[in-house]
Amino acid sequence: MKMLFNTKVFFNTFDNDNDAAKPEIWAMEALLLLQNNTVVLPTVNKQFKNDLAKQGQVVHAYRPQKFEAERKVDGDDVVIQDAKLSQIDVRLDFHLHTSFMLYPQEMSMSMLDLVDTHLRPAFQSIFQEVDELLIGMKYRFMSTAIVGSLGSPLTKSSLIDINKRFNKNIAPNDGERWFMMGAEQEADLLDDKLFTDASQVGDDGTALRDASIGKKFGVNCVQCNNVFTVEPGNTVTTSTQINHAGGYGAGTTVLTVDGGTTIVAGSWCVIAGDDRPRRITVVNATPATQITLESGIESLVADNAVITVYAPGAVNHAGGYDANYPKRMTVDGFTVAPQAGQLVSFGTVGTPYSLIGQKNTTTSLKLSRGLDNTTADNTVAAIGPAGEYGFAYHRDAITLVTRPLELPEDGMGVKSGIAYDEKLGMGMRVTMSYLGTKQGTLVTADILCGTEVLDNTQGMLVVR
């Protein structure tokens, strides 16, 4: 049985207990749960079409169009501008699914009971992953702008800086400027009376009672539980020091350091006084006496300033991994498991990824997107510095592209339905099949999606 529904308007009501056997009802309810349990999804560009697709397929999304007004006088022809949309290719890397068994005693439950008992906790994993994929896009904007300093609290000035950068990059001031912040960043701002004192906020104390920041300096500030804090105790570091009388000025990339420390090219570091994540691309010797950074420091760093280097691991997979590989990667060399939200990069070039989920280990990592390039066995797998990494962006900085998955063929003994919501920008498929060996019904909910940058000037990393 194959079904397809448009759920622009649907209701959380059910006709009878037999709805428990209707996959389209499950799909519609899953979308409703998704709408109510995601933080980042409603704030980004979404491009959905009701065209069936397969994992790995490249679809053509588009970048929002920009026009410029022209001038004329009487008798002039109008200037016709090109209305062709800029095309962005997006690979549907991720087939996300949740599967679980229902047994006869559970299938006899009412649909409302099933929602509370099984559907909500089972589907929550998909919603969590979608939000993490989107927030993980933050590291793709490291080269655009980094606001704040690692180890230093967020302040009013940080929000002013975010808004200033939006303005300088001509981000539309249309209410769609967002800042997804972590628990520490929110706590910093809540500790400032400017954001909670009713006499200054003018909200009769709502901010103080609800511990909410709201819209400040033109930016919607939202605490997001998927902006994780990378704790210092869960990383392995080594250190060296600047060895240059007078230190180094802003823009410097080649630094002389004290000898005696072995540093691996590709590792990430933090230099006291600069306090930003920096990738080391070249190491002159073992032990190192000179290192080259991927990007120049932004502040004066003094002689003897401490350089904290984060110990990397390496890819551990014979034959390496192909470009666009979307599953977990096998690694070795780590003694402490990298954390969700921590940046990771491979080799000495390329845009970092974010780690996704709570099951990363010293030997297995799940990334925020498919691999950009072929990655060989023993390539350096470098993790980023401790700290909290928020994401400030305009709605059209990034996009989530989703497509419905194909339905099973008729006659396969499978019930399957798709529900989609164009406003939400998401389609959900649910399939149900009886497994004789288990004496129960296998339920699988899944979606197909991919993410991409639409405008690399409209986002920034916010560190703390």
Please state, as a whole number, how many other Cβ atoms lie within 10 Å of the Cβ of residue 50. Answer: 12
Angle formed by the axes of helices 120-135 and 23-36, nearest 10°: 50
Per-domain boundaries in the chain:
1-64+87-229+387-464, 237-310
pLDDT value at residue 197: 57
Alpha carbons 279 and 287: distance in angstroms, whole number = 18
Tell me how far apart the alpha carbons of residues 145 and 292 are, in angstroms, rounded to a whole number: 20
Quote the pLDDT of residue 2. Answer: 41
Q: What dotted CATH number matches 237-310?
A: 2.40.30.240
E strand intervals along 166-325: 177-181, 214-216, 219-223, 229-230, 237-241, 254-261, 268-271, 278-283, 288-293, 306-310, 313-315
The pLDDT assigned to 5 comes to: 42
Low-confidence ranges of the chain (pLDDT < 70): 1-21, 36, 84, 110-112, 196-212
Measure the CA–CA gap between 444 and 463, rounded to whole angstroms.
38
Q: Tokens at residue 361, please?
A: 């280990």
The pLDDT value given to residue 126: 86
What distance in Å separates the CA atoms of residue 420 and residue 423, rounded to the nearest whole number? 9
Question: According to the model, what pLDDT value does residue 350 have?
Answer: 95
1-64+87-229+387-464: CATH class: alpha beta
Q: What is the pTM of this model?
A: 0.87
